[in-house]
Amino acid sequence: MDNNVSFNGQERSFATSAWMNGSAAYSVNPTTDTPLGESSEFTTLKLFLYFIILIFSSLGNALVFYLIYCNRRLRQTSSNRLLLNLCACDFLTPLLSIPFDLALEERNYVWPYGAVMCRVLWPSSTLTTTASAFTLAAISLDR
């Protein structure tokens, strides 16, 4: 790879991500980085809604986790311990999914984070989602 090539800012970030992925065999035009057919209003609304969902899910689950974890009386029942586990899973799931999925969608489904993040992010996201579903099942059995 020739390191003496001059790039503007967008092309440099694309070249860096291509280098980090180990191959520059694919090509994405940095100037048309938004998916075809999406207006700027739709993209703005989508980003706003993703942000709102991420903030409210993180704050809500963190608040419930904090209340149960800090109150000894609430931690004593098994149903509240399961609720604590559900809060932890539901706190991590959007943090592991929304930012990375949004970036992936905005880059026309070209993975910009490298092989290590690919091997870590998807299994951990699947783990938290599955743990959340199993915790819901355990809560229903407990009641």
CA distance linking residue 101 with residue 112, whole number of Å: 11
CA distance linking residue 16 with residue 106, whole number of Å: 17
Domains of the chain by residue range: 37-142
- pLDDT by residue (tens digit) across 84-93? 999 999 999 9
**Across all residues in the chain, what is the average pLDDT?**
79
Instruction: Assess whether pLDDT exceeds 90 at residue 7.
Output: no
- pLDDT by residue (tens digit) across 62-114? 999 999 988 888 888 888 899 999 999 999 999 999 999 888 888 888 888 88
For Cα atoms 76, 77, 82, give the angle at the middle one, nearest 5 degrees: 115
pTM of the full structure: 0.66
pLDDT value for 36:
58
